[in-house]
Structure 1
Amino acid sequence: MSLLSFAASKVGVFKRILEKWKLFRFNRMIRKNWPVYYRLGPRFEFVSEDLLKLKVRFPFNHKTKGYNGLHFGGAIYAFVDPLYVYSISENLGPEYLVLDTKAEIDFLKASNQDLIIKTEVSSEDIKSIQEECSAKKKTTRIYFLEVLDPSGQKIAIVKKTIYIRKLNPSFPITSRL
């Protein structure tokens, strides 16, 4: 093994350790500020630098088990609920109010395995939200989420309606995470 390849492998190891440390700190911050995530135990497995892409794993355990020994639907919804609001809020900043106004969940299959969700908001969508809010002060967006089991089968489909409003400068929201 040459010295150059040894140094390159060390850089890769340190990069992976740094990424894991960032995820650990992010998970800790989320659990501290979102009681539902503290109680149910989901883990963020991937978080992009701009927070527009998230991958979260939801465990099957005694806290998420329903009466029939399968995932409790309310726990699945609580797991899905804050993801888009968080991503959009963090990208728009404190001068915007982002609220979840409506949600529909269709359960397709029962499961007793860990569940996975991947969310993605495009940077073009963030720009169009800013432009629309500049023109009309408010907008709504509809997003769809697929709740998957580890083999990739759909467990549920969630349709979320997100309300976004540009705030009056005299009414800033200061209590962010």
Structure 2
Amino acid sequence: MKANALRRGMNLWPPLLFAGIRIRHISDDFRAVDVELRERFYNKNYVGCHFGGSLFAMTDPFWMLMVMRNLDRSYTVWDKSAEIEFLRPGRGTVSASFRLSEDMLDDIRANTAEEDARYLRTFPVDIVNTDGDPVARVTKTLHIRRKPDTRNRIGG
């Protein structure tokens, strides 16, 4: 599936749509994703800030999708864990920008090259307000491993 088609489809996916989350951009090479969350009456908490679950949801699928799309089919990629640190009240429109570099991919390949190697790789992303101030920091940990039938291949 092409990046723009995936973006359009995911913008209609109920967990994102009903939280008010909008994917603004997915690059053609799946190495850059920009997401935003506008403040609405239905995504604010009791004290008038963005609901923490919505902030967390706006970061949920992207690191895994980006890594999967940039490694070949010989890899298994799963979300292992996630952590959110709230830094300041989130009000107005907030956004998150995900960037996957070649160095990150090289690190994954190097750490999964040996037979039966399992690699837990963390990926941080900041959620920022319109002034660029961090509202929350989310760290996702992915479990990455070569599929059993491809582990002995070189360059796979």
- Structure 1 length normalisation: TM-score? 0.74
Offset at residue 168 of structure 1 (A): 2.5
Offset at residue 122 of structure 1 (A): 0.7
Query: Which deviations, in whole Å up to 9, do the C-alpha atoms of 1:13-40 show, x marking residues without a partner?
Result: xxxxxxxxx87644322235x4311322
Task: Identify unmatched segments of 5+ residues in structure 1.
Answer: 1-21, 171-177
Aligned to 1:164: 144
Give the 4+ runs in structure 1 shifted more than 3 A. 22-26
The one-letter code of the counterpart of 2:9 is M
Q: Secondary structure in 2 aligned to 1:130? A: helix
The reply on whether 1:87 has 2:72 as its aligned counterpart is no
Question: Could you tell me how far apart the structure 1 residues matched to 2:55 and 2:75 are?
Answer: 27
Counting aligned pairs with the same residue, the percent is 26
Structure whose alpha-carbon radius of gyration is higher: 1
Greater share of strand residues, 1 or 2? Answer: 2
- Structure 2 length normalisation: TM-score? 0.82
Q: Secondary structure in 1 aligned to 2:79? A: strand
Alignment of 1:23-172 (within 5 A): 25-32=5-12, 34-136=13-115, 137-169=117-149
Greater share of helix residues, 1 or 2? Answer: 1
Query: Which deviations, in whole Å up to 9, do the C-alpha atoms of 1:90-109 show, x marking residues without a partner?
Result: 11133322122122211111
Higher deviation after alignment, 140-149 or 161-170: 161-170
